[in-house]
Amino acid sequence: MSEDKPRQTGTGPLGALLSVNVGMPKDVPWQGKAVFTGVFKDPVKGPRRVGKLNVEGDGQGDLGGHGGEQRAVFVYQIDSYRYWERELGRDDFVYGQFGENFTVEGLGDDEVCIGDRYRIGSAGFEVTQPRVTCYRVGIRMNDPRIPALLVSHHRPGFYFRVLEEGEVKAGDDIIKLASGPERMPVAEVDALLYLPGHTRQQLLRALRIPALSPGWQASFQALLDEGAGSGNAGLAVTSPPPAWPGFRQLTVTAITPESDSVISIRLEDRTACRCRRPVRVSTSRCDSRSTRTRGRCSETIRCPGRPMPAITGSLSSASPVAPPVAICTPGSPSATDWISRRRAARSSSTTRTHRSC
């Protein structure tokens, strides 16, 4: 039987606070528009007071996805800095690079568990959830791949809830006070929502952790209600029955220029199943380490050595009898031709809505 309260540990320092980083939200130019964001954080010297909602001098631009009591302090590890420097071939990182409030030594995402409690300086903290990796961290890193990479490489970082207000400063030891129930690491909980392969047992374990933030509890409950393996309902507001469960591997057979800025991609499905309904999909960028877009009919697309800009289109059967499918952008000749033919056959369409980060 699992415990419903954190277990006392009484251990010594497990790490150190290397930097305290704060920043107020501001408009930042991004792809031709202004984005209001607080992801840009700078190191500060001396002690800073940590309150129930944030670190003194810090703010968030999108309060729907960041900040608040359950996400008062974002933590990221120096080990992950070193990992991404090697992985991305970069050497320009500074403290606050990933939008974190606390840059720490230790406390890896595969070690820290939801519900763990720590003392840093005179303040007390509890781990509530992994970071929600939205596109703004890609703005900060000047690399739109980063949100997907943080998830797929199991290095999201995590949030603290403030149990006891107090002061912290760079150099403070990090003392573990108690271990959370179920012992579910941050990386495991993050993958449970954002990656395929969740099981009913894992979802039940996560829901037994009182410290897990209400938003994540609701997402896991949605997954549990729909049934494990049937798609990540926790990421959707509403959704139709799946055209197929999980992910399918497709092969790119043709890339057709529709204009200077629009292309259609033809994909071959090597299985007997075809998507019979038009479904909205989004992909931010492809490369030799292709990532999966989330959604019931979204697929892994491999474009080795050929980065692509963001696109939004329809994944649809190219003909009633042929196995290939096509990604067509709205208004392109391929999309217009397909829509005309399909409207004659059926009038319904489906869309999948994701929660904003």
Task: Please check whether residue 41 is in contact with residue 23, taking contact to mean a CB–CB distance below 8 angstroms.
Answer: yes
CATH architecture group of domain 7-235: Beta Barrel (2.40)
**How confident is the model at residue 278, as a pLDDT?**
44
pLDDT by residue for the chain (357 residues), tens digit each? 344 555 555 566 789 999 999 999 888 888 888 888 888 899 999 999 999 999 998 888 777 667 789 999 999 999 999 999 999 999 999 999 999 999 999 999 999 999 999 999 999 999 999 998 888 888 889 888 888 899 889 999 999 999 999 999 999 999 999 999 999 999 999 999 988 887 899 999 999 999 999 999 999 999 888 764 444 555 544 444 444 555 667 788 888 877 666 777 888 776 655 444 444 444 444 443 333 333 333 333 444 444 444 434 444 444 444 444 445 444 445 555 544 554 554 444 333 333 334
Cα dihedral 240, 302, 312, 233 sign: positive
Detail the DSSP E strand segments found in the chain. Answer: 7-8, 13-22, 26-30, 33-37, 42-44, 48-50, 73-77, 102-105, 117-120, 123-130, 158-164, 166-168, 173-179, 250-257, 263-269, 279-283, 311-317, 325-328
Report helix, strand or coil for 171: coil
**How confident is the model at residue 357, as a pLDDT?**
41
**How confident is the model at residue 102, as a pLDDT?**
97
CA–CA gap between residue 252 and residue 73 (Å, rounded): 43
- Per 3-state DSSP, the chain is made up of helix, strand and coil in percentages (nearest 5) of 20, 30, 50
Task: Please check whether residue 50 is in contact with residue 43, taking contact to mean a CB–CB distance below 8 angstroms.
Answer: no
AA letter at 111:
E
Using only C-alpha atoms, the chain has a radius of gyration, in whole angstroms, of 22
**Phi (first) and psi of residue 187, to 5 degrees:** -60, -40
* C-alpha 298 chain-centroid distance: 16
Of 219, 203, 79, give the one whose Cα is nearest residue 153.
79
What are the structural domain ranges in the chain? Answer: 7-235, 250-345
* C-alpha 208 chain-centroid distance: 22
**How confident is the model at residue 260, as a pLDDT?**
66
* Angle between the N-to-C axes of helices 186-194 and 214-226, in degrees from 0 to 180, rounded to the nearest 10: 50
**How confident is the model at residue 322, as a pLDDT?**
45
